[in-house]
Structure 1
């Protein structure tokens, strides 16, 4: 297992509502827990993944996600069992849509 940490500053979109859990950890999938948190306008993302050595890929997917959504005061925890970047993006979008009621 590998744990990766990402932090993006100066987000503009806040979350509303209760924490949300999207997806199921299982063969080739992942779960995303997203919740509002007082982070001074930042978005923190922790990834726990079984696919060791893909830090650069995770960085690219998380940077793309932040560029699309620009979340502020959000904490995201991802538990991954080998999902593809497309599935990661889909699950992140589902989680954010449930707390913002919108699209990027």
Structure 2
């Protein structure tokens, strides 16, 4: 087993940048751009269909998506929009299972 790599100034700056990143995409913006079902949105956001349905409810059943769900949508948007531009080596790191099925 190898030891963890030390954090240099570059890595510390990248961690700070990532930690402060406000990456997110609203439900409406994602739906307006991509013709996805609520089930597909649940799969993207790693949550249940019931959770997604509550995001679109009115009244007492309404529950807003978390910033993590909005980040999943933004990452999915980037992934779908720019998939062909992503180098194969990076695709293999991002999605090792799906990449091996190509």
Whether these two folds match at TM > 0.5 is no
Per residue, is there more helix in 1 or in 2? 2
> Over alpha carbons, which structure has the higher Rg?
2
Task: Report the structure, 1 or 2, having the larger strand content.
Answer: 1
TM-score between the two structures when normalised by the length of structure 1: 0.26
Q: TM-score, normalised by structure 2?
A: 0.26
